[in-house]
Structures are given as structure tokens and as C-alpha cells.
Amino acid sequence: MMQPQSDVSVFFILLRRSLSIALIWTFLCFIAAFWNIATEQKKTIDLAQREARTVIDKDQALRFWATDHHGVYVPVTKDTQPNDNLRHIPERDITTPSGMQLTLINPATMLRQVMNQYGDMYRTKGHITSLKLVNHLNKPDEWETKALYEFETGKEEVMSVTRIEGNEVVRLMKPIYTNAGCLECHGSQGYKEGDVRGGVSVSIPLAGYRAIEKKSLRAMYITHSFLWLFGLLAIALIFTRSKKRRIERLDDLQTLEEQSEKIKIFAYSVAHDLKNPVVAIHGLASLLRKKQFDKLDDKGRQYCEQIVKSSAQLSALVDQINIFISAKEQPLTIELLDFQEICNTVKEEYAAQLQARHIEWREPTRVDGIRADRIAITRIIRNLVDNALKYSGENLSRITITCEEATDRFTISVANDGNPISREACRNIFVRFKRNCDDRKVQGTGLGLAIVKELAGLHGGDVWVESDGREGAAFFFTLARTGPAETKTRFSGPAFMGGRTPPQKSE
Ligand code: HEC
């Protein structure tokens, strides 16, 4: 039967599901936003860094150019006086044929002058410095000192984002190495070719880049928010749609269930009420055959025979239907079983037939620990034996009952060596009113195996049949070792059925 589910519980289940999807969606949007913001910010720094490299490289090129020319001569002015640090150079000061005074300036000085006088054009100031200074004006600051020490350990570049006088900047510093040209003036300081002579640093203000970044971040916030809202809207829409659909389906299911319940009650009451008239017809027909047989003509006798036979069949069918119903309806009484006793009870019931047909009976010697409903298990064994006797044909010479124990269950089988069962038949042999159609002569109701399946199912067990298609067939059912999980009642019958129907002994 379906779990009772109300509109309210459907609403809450769907609401919970939609809310968790919305939460996941929000989380994803946040991750995407964070990722994109981080990428954008990294781009800002990358751009500033690139600018810093360009500036340094250009300075460096200028510096190399000056070094290649062993410094450059410039006219002596108020700002450009002969450099005391170059006094060792013989031709530091020269006079042109027209009498103009020229003095040599070294690359570092040249660049410092460029920076100081045209720094505004550069927007950024480069700074040449060293741990071992020629000119005290070139003194490194704290950040540069740290970088210079790092160059000594082989580092090729130092970069960081810091603040200078409250402004955010990207600082980049690269080492400058001593080459042969440098030694002319720095050789006396003890430098050799390849040594780190010092470093050049630049600081690029980030403000301009940040302004661009802000713009694209704003666009990003807007698109992400829209996307997020759009997703939420879609989720809300899906929620309302599926709520409506679910509730409709629930209503359909409820009507369907109500209808099938009505049909069931009708069928059960018909089966129950049919019993008495059928028994009466059978009894009366039998009486007619016994007492009035002589008075009937041939046709009448033939009809009488047929009525007796058909009413017997009808009575058996009604019985079986009632058993089937009671199998569904009755609660199980779980107890420790004497399996051998059950086998013997069934054997006794069929003793006459077994003897007459010379059928050998085999049963397990000892089985302990089966916990199940005694009446149900007896019925299963009885139905399987009855099935074998009815459908296995003339060749049947042996019925074997076995019981195999596993850690979690018992597997019980009732096998015979009679007619095999086709693969097709094996598949739906346990379905109600499906008989093994090969044998039309045999009378049966088609409910015996369905009852077996029902009862095994109530015990939490399976049923199946095996046949190699050549000889015989074996029917199996399993019982959980722990017994059924709970006492199951599939169907509570209508009140007028009189509650518990005791299972009939004979079929
Ligand atoms: C023509 C002489 C001359 C040449 C060639 C020369 N320098 Fe200098 N350099 C100087 C003088 C003089 C100073 C200090 C004066 C100043 O900064 O005004 C100086 C300063 C420096 C500084 C700044 C730190 C400090 O000690 O004050 C560095 C670094 C430096 N030079 C590296 C080099 C390198 C590397 C080369 C070769 C590529 C080189 N120089 C070539 C004369 C020279």
C-alpha cells in the first residue's frame, strides 16, 4: 500500500528540496564571483608589474648605452659640476676647441638626473642603489635593502604590493650585474665581472589601474547578481510547478487507491458469500447423482456428472480464493518450528495418493532454528507438494524436501522428478491464476503458488523455481533466520468478513 502522504508533507518535501538547490546555487554564484574578482584583481597587479618591468628595462638600456660609451660628456653647468667620484679618470674634464667646458658623467648619475628632472613624465621614479655605495644619495630604503640581500642569494626579481606615503604601489626591483665596462669606475670597490653591483627599483602607483578594475568589478557584480536572481526565480518557478503536479498526482493516486480498495472489498465479499451456494450446489448435485441417478436418462446423467464435477472445481476455487485472502489478511504467529513434524503432517495428508502412485518421499532428517508461522509454512509445503502431485505427470516417482541453512536464512526446496517446466513458464508461474498450461486435463485453481509466494513474502522470503528443462523441477523459498521483521498484515478485510478466517485444512 502507498505511504499516506498529505498535501502538506509534499509541500514541505518540495520546499526543502528547492531551498537546498537554492542554497547550492547561491554558493556556486558566490564561488564564481569570488573567483572572477580574484582574477580581476590579479590582472590589475599583472598589468602594473608589466609596466614596472618595461620601465626598468628601458632605464637599464639607457644605462648600458652610457656604460658602453664609458660615460658621457656634458657641458658643466650649475647643476652638473665635475663629479668628485670620477676624479681618478684622467680626462674627466675637457675643453672643446671653442672653449666650452665638458665633464664626464657616469651612467648612474645620468639616470638620476633624468629621473629628478623629468620624473613627472615617467609618472614613476626609478631608483638605482647598492649595498656598497659610491654615492650616499643612492642609499637603499628598508624594502630595497631586503631585496638587495635576496639578490645576493641568486634571486632575479623581487615584487610586492605595498604603500608608499599612503599610496598603493607595485614595487619591482631587479639586480644589476657588473660587467667589464663597469669595472673601469667600480673595479676599485672590489667588484668582479658577474657580481651583483646593486639593483634598480621602480614603484608603479596602482590608483589608475584600480579605477579600471573598479569599473569592471561593478559590471561583474551586476551580472553575477542578475544571474543569481534569475536562478532563484527559475528554482521558485520549478517549485510551484512541481508542487502543483505532485498534488494532482497525489489526488489521482488517492482516487485510484480508493477505487482499488472498493474493488478488493467487493471481490473478497463475493468470494466469501459464494462459498455457501457453491457447497449447496455441489451437495445437491451429489445427492441427485446418488439418489435419483436411475431416474435420469443418458443426457440427464451426463449433465448431472458435469454439474458435480464443475461444482467441485468451483468449490475448490472459492476455497483457494478465501485462503489467498486470509494469507494476506492474517497476522503471523512466529514460533520455533518443528520442521519435520510439518513435513510429516503433509505426508500423512497425501499418504494414500503417494502409496497408490508409488511415489518415494524424502525429507530432511533434522532442522533446527526455523522461526516462522507454523500454519503458513505447513500451507507452503502442502501447496508445493500438491502442485507436484497435480502437475508433474505420470513419471513422478520421487518428491524431495530439503532445507539448507545459511548464516542469514534457510532455503527450503520441494523437488520432484516428474515433468520439467519450460523456462517461459518458470518466469510467471507464481502469478495468480497462471497455471502451467501444458496440462489442460489437470484440475487446479492457479492460486496455490500465488499463496506460496504471498506467505513466503510475509516472512521476508523469496520464491523461485528451477528446472533444467529435461527432468523434474524444484521449487524454492527462503525464510530469514531472524524471522520476519514485524508482524505483517497486508490487508485488513471488511468487517462483514468476520475478521480472522481460520485456514482450511483441506483444499
Ligand atoms: C664612468 C664611470 C662609471 C661607470 C662606467 C659605471 N659607473 Fe656606476 N657609478 C659611478 C659613479 C661615479 C657612481 C656614484 C655617483 C652617483 O650616483 O652620482 C656610480 C653609481 C652606481 C650605482 C649606485 C650605487 C652607488 O654605489 O652609489 C650603481 C648600482 C652602479 N653605479 C652600477 C654600475 C654598473 C652595473 C655599471 C656597469 C654596467 C656602472 N655602474 C658603470 C661611476 C660609473
Domain ranges of the chain: 7-71+106-205, 331-488
Mutational pocket test of ligand 1: of 74, 80, 135, 188, the residue with most ligand atoms within 8 Å of the beta carbon: 135
Angstrom distance (rounded) from CA 327 to CA 324: 5
301 C-alpha to ligand 1 centroid (Å): 140
Q: How many CA atoms lie within 13 A of 88 on its CB side?
A: 8
Query: Could you identify the atom of ligand 1 that is nearest to the CA of residue 199?
Result: 29
156 C-alpha to ligand 1 centroid (Å): 20
How many residues are recorded in the chain?
507
Angstrom distance (rounded) from CA 77 to CA 308: 144
Is 465:474 a contact under the CB 8 Å cutoff? yes
Q: How many CA atoms lie within 13 A of 337 on its CB side?
A: 26
Question: Which pLDDT score, from 0 to 100, does residue 449 have?
Answer: 87
- In 51-208, DSSP assigns E strands to 72-75, 93-95, 101-105, 126-129, 158-164, 167-177, 196-205
- What does the block give as the cell for 465? 523455481
For 331-488, CATH number?
3.30.565.10
Quick one: 247 exposed, middle or buried, by C-beta within 10 A (0-12, 13-18, 19+)?
middle
Mutational pocket test of ligand 1: of 106, 109, 128, 200, the residue with most ligand atoms within 8 Å of the beta carbon: 106
Is 364:397 a contact under the CB 8 Å cutoff? no
Question: Which pLDDT score, from 0 to 100, does residue 485 have?
Answer: 56
Question: Which pLDDT score, from 0 to 100, does residue 496 have?
Answer: 33
Residues in the chain with pLDDT values less than 70:
1-6, 122-123, 432-445, 483-507
Q: Which residues contact 225 (CB under 8 A, 6 or more apart)?
A: none
* Amino acid in the structure at residue 28: L
Mutational pocket test of ligand 1: of 137, 138, 144, 191, the residue with most ligand atoms within 8 Å of the beta carbon: 138
Which protein residue's CA is at the shortest distance from atom 38 of ligand 1? 182
Question: Which pLDDT score, from 0 to 100, does residue 382 have?
Answer: 92
Is 23:243 a contact under the CB 8 Å cutoff? no
Of residues 28, 34, 25, the one with CA closest to residue 232? 25
Query: Could you identify the atom of ligand 1 that is nearest to the CA of residue 86?
Result: 12
- Beta strand 473-480 with 463-466 is antiparallel
Is 175:164 a contact under the CB 8 Å cutoff? no
Query: Could you identify the atom of ligand 1 that is nearest to the CA of residue 136?
Result: 27
89 C-alpha to ligand 1 centroid (Å): 13
Angstrom distance (rounded) from CA 38 to CA 32: 10
What is the pTM assigned to this prediction? 0.52
Of residues 415, 419, 420, 414, the one with CA closest to residue 395? 419
Q: Which residues contact 127 (CB under 8 A, 6 or more apart)?
A: 115, 138, 144, 200, 201, 202
Is 151:132 a contact under the CB 8 Å cutoff? no
Query: Could you identify the atom of ligand 1 that is nearest to the CA of residue 63?
Result: 38
Question: Which pLDDT score, from 0 to 100, does residue 101 have?
Answer: 94
186 C-alpha to ligand 1 centroid (Å): 7
Question: Which pLDDT score, from 0 to 100, does residue 499 have?
Answer: 33
Backbone angles phi, psi at 453, to 5 degrees: -65, -45
For 7-71+106-205, CATH number?
3.30.450
Angstrom distance (rounded) from CA 232 to CA 236: 6
For residue 402, what is the enclosing H or E element? strand 398-405
